Structure 1
């Protein structure tokens, strides 16, 4: 199956949802605010018009959205100079330990 091209607002909402969920899991203060934000983001994700299109109808599309959003998060956490290196690159691992 070809991976659908997701609208940028949908990908951003999924990334925001992931970050908010992670903050809740860490037990940060203001958890009521975070729970409300997570609920709003969940509604935005669930009712996005993309899911009504042919490309968005399969359950695999939702899985792919989550996978792509997580991939973007990981890619943004890695310095630009290291993005093209394999994960096991010793220089990158050494720099991460420092």
Structure 2
């Protein structure tokens, strides 16, 4: 799947999730409540997105979204 297969806001949220996760991992020794709160917020946005209620919102689409977002989130 390409990025056009997903709503832009959904792909942006998943990409932001990976970016934030990376930031949290980099600051794990210090802890970051702000990063954890952001991950929770993004997780809710992603899980509740209306796209998942459409015929295209399959388990395979969830995997494809994560793969695309991982590539976009790489520094």
Instruction: Please indicate the TM-score interval, normalised by the length of the shorter structure.
Output: 0.7 to 0.9
Structure-1-length-normalised TM-score: 0.66
Q: What residue ranges of structure 2 are gaps of 5+ in the alignment?
A: none
Over aligned residues, Cα RMSD in angstroms? 1.7
Report which structure shows greater RCO (CA 8 Å, sep ≥6). Answer: 2
TM (normalized to structure 2)? 0.85
Q: Which runs of 4+ in 1 moved over 6 A?
A: none
Residue segments in structure 1 that go unaligned for 5+ positions in a row: 78-98
Tell me the matched-pair count. Answer: 72
Give 3-state SS (helix, strand or coil) of 1:55's partner: coil
| Structure showing the higher helix proportion among its residues | 2
Q: Which has the larger radius of gyration?
A: 1
